[in-house]
Amino acid sequence: MSTENEGTAVPPAPSAPPVPVDAPASAPGTAQEGHASAGIPGPGAGSTPPAGGAPSAPGAPHPEGAPTTQLPPVPPGQPGAYPAAEAGWPPPPPVTPLYAGGGGGAGGGLGASYQEPAPKPKNGRGGLVAAILVAALVAGGVGGGIGYQLAKNNDSSGSTTVAASTSGGDVKRAIGSIASVAARALPSTVTIEAESTNGQGGTGTGFVFDTQGHIVTNNHVVADAVDGGKLTATFPNGKKYDAEIIGHAQGYDVAVIKLKNAPSDLKPLALGDSDKVAVGDETIAIGAPFGLSNTVTQGIISAKHRPVASSDGGSESKASYMSALQTDASINPGNSGGPLLDAQGAVIGINSAIQSTGSSGLGGSGQSGSIGLGFAIPINQAKYVAQQLIKTGKPVYAKIGASVSLDETTGGAKITDQGAGGSAAIESGGPADKAGLKPGDVITKLDDTVVDSGPTLIGEIWTHKPGDQVMITYQRGGKSHTVDLTLGSRVGDN
């Protein structure tokens, strides 16, 4: 299913069943125009995906702020058709979700699209101030009425007020309470503001990764500042630092920035194990929804391995794919890039996209918001990507070296008859070629995970590292076959 990144619309992608089950055999058919190489499009690896966005499917997830949105602020984009992706880079899925931090778009069954956070309106404080004033006036009126009544009742008797035994600040909170977790994690989260050279930008979130000043966030959160823009990170204590981009991965939607003149007392957040997370586990999300920095929300893990395809909705943007953790913790545009914590306060994911009933971008008048369907990049995957970016500045993707259709389907990921730009669908000498896969084969499982579409397959492949061995189940001529395959690698987003 596709979702939107907080604020930006993304093309929809077919949704995968929540629990692995044997997928029905799918007879090979004619390859559709839209296709991408699995795990980094097959032949021609390294080519850039076609510009444009696929139309969003109704009900698809969006990055925070759109039907399904990924977190950073991103200007709303009009969904369009995604052309076939070239080998080395899979084109965006049929349906794209919105970014939780700033992108927006219609979402569909496969994944969630994301958006970059939308620019803060110049009069952003207006609504909040008005609300506060109204609340104050109402409280004043009620207080006055009660005061008068108490005074009247107390003409001939003592005061009827009752004092609490302790004040709020004296309450003892358990070490594992939400308040305790928030108190420990908030000092290590930052609100990120990215601004392009033309003054456009948005707000997202990030968290301290190490003591050297590296901050992990979403790619769509910092996208505006990639080419000479301005980037800042502000801590809850009000201290603000200029920052620079160390590396960013469009496909994974992960980026690493570094604080300039970083303080010496940084406390990195502890990283958990996303593979051990179970449905029903408690979750805590921290971010800056709609610019409200240092916001904490609570929920649970609603599902695992949720296939999400997202995009920032830009005319030249590429899709991001993830096998996401789904949570019902409230996530909105601006939460993108923030940590999703477990009950002990360890990071288990990076909030990136949401499914929403709205489809407008974060910067529009009808911004999308949380309906309890949020998606996070598993931390085990994000940690690997972040370490690669810090080490080399470039992302490394796993691939099978085959071009697959990105059209919506429930039959699996079909290897196309031809690759992007007229190239071969199977990369010569690549993993798929060595495993004996052929055009027309329909991949239905990767290990024990059911594959219902091309985007789902790509997202699952990217949860692995180059060199990992996986078992591929596929249909050919109405019969099911399995084969072991060693994943190849591609460096960079292009």
Q: Which residues are catalytic?
A: 220, 253, 336
User: Is 400 in contact with 431 (CB distance < 8 Å)?
Assistant: yes
Strand, coil or helix: 384: helix
Strand ranges (DSSP E) for 12-150? 35-37, 61-63, 68-69, 98-103
Rounded to 5 degrees, what are φ and ψ at 282? Answer: -70, 145
Q: What would the two tokens of residue 361 be?
A: 């971008």
Which pairing describes strands 61-63 and 68-69: parallel, antiparallel, or unpaired? Answer: parallel
Q: Is residue 150 a contact partner of residue 42, using CB atoms and an 8 Å limit?
A: no
What element of type H or E holds 149? helix 124-153
Measure the CA–CA gap between 176 and 278, rounded to whole angstroms: 18
DSSP, collapsed to helix, strand or coil, labels residue 431 as helix
Whole-number Å distance between alpha carbons of 152 and 168 = 30
Query: Going by C-beta distance under 8 Å and a sequence separation of 6 or more, which residues neighbour residue 126?
Result: none
Contact 446, 472 (CB under 8 A): yes
Question: Rounded to whole angstroms, how far apart are CA atoms 94 and 415?
Answer: 16
Residue located via tokens 């296939």: 307
CA dihedral of residues 338, 344, 349, 353 (deg, nearest 10): -60
How far apart CA 243 and CA 229 sit, in angstroms, is 11
Place of tokens 């599902």: 303
Give, rounded to a whole angstrom, the gap between the first and last alpha carbons of the chain: 25
Question: Tokens 């009544």 sit at which residue?
Answer: 149
- 43: three-class secondary structure by DSSP: coil
Radius of gyration of the chain (CA): 24
The set of residues, in sequence order, having a beta carbon less than 8 Å from that of 6 and lying 6+ positions away, is 62, 63, 64, 65, 66, 69, 70, 71, 72, 73, 74, 98, 99, 100, 101, 102, 103, 104, 114, 115, 116, 117, 204, 331, 332, 333, 334, 335, 336, 352, 353, 354, 362
Q: Are 331 and 285 in contact (CB under 8 A)?
A: yes
